[in-house]
Amino acid sequence: MGNQKSNKTRIVALRLSTQEFTLLERKFKGSTCRKLSEYIRKVILERPVVVYYRNSSLDDAVKEVVRLRNELNNIGNNFNQAVKKLHTLDQITEFKSWIFSYELDKRRLLSQIDEIKKQIDKTADQWLQS
């Protein structure tokens, strides 16, 4: 049966209640089996069934990180809008110097936000692949 394709000629009929089928289907969907018949065959013949495993504490951490990423995006957008608004007031000399100094701060802030977003995306990609 190894790599050769075997002809499966025997049919086994099985009747289940709605609750039993729901349980069977939930367990099947939690496995790596592509077909329900494959899953049932493995269970009946006591072969190992590979199931998906999710670390719930990591799930919570990723949710929080995603929330923080969205918050960082919002902060960056608000900061950009504020600086653009101040650029309209560039006729006043005092504002010109303020805008210049805070433009540098803005660039540093946005650079750090981009770095954090990259780390969050990297972590999310690793999480999704596990």
Q: In this predicted model, what pLDDT tens digit does every residue of 78-117 receive, in sequence order?
A: 777 777 777 776 566 666 777 777 777 778 888 878 888 8
Domain span at residue 99 reads: 56-129
Q: What is the pLDDT of residues 16-48, one digit of tens each?
A: 999 999 998 988 888 888 888 888 888 888 888
The torsion region of residue 46 among left (phi > 0), alpha (psi -120 to 50) and beta comes to left
89 to 77, 81, 85, 101, 105: CA distances (angstroms)? 19, 13, 7, 15, 19
At residue 1, the pLDDT reads 47
**Claim to verify: residue 18 and residue 63 sit in the same structural domain:** no
- Whether residue 71 is found in the same domain as residue 123: yes
Q: pTM for this one?
A: 0.39
Residues 102 and 85 in one domain: yes
Q: What is the pLDDT of residue 17?
A: 93
pLDDT bin (cut points 50, 70, 90) of residue 55 is low
Report which of 79, 65, 71 is spatially closest to residue 108, judged by C-alpha positions: 79
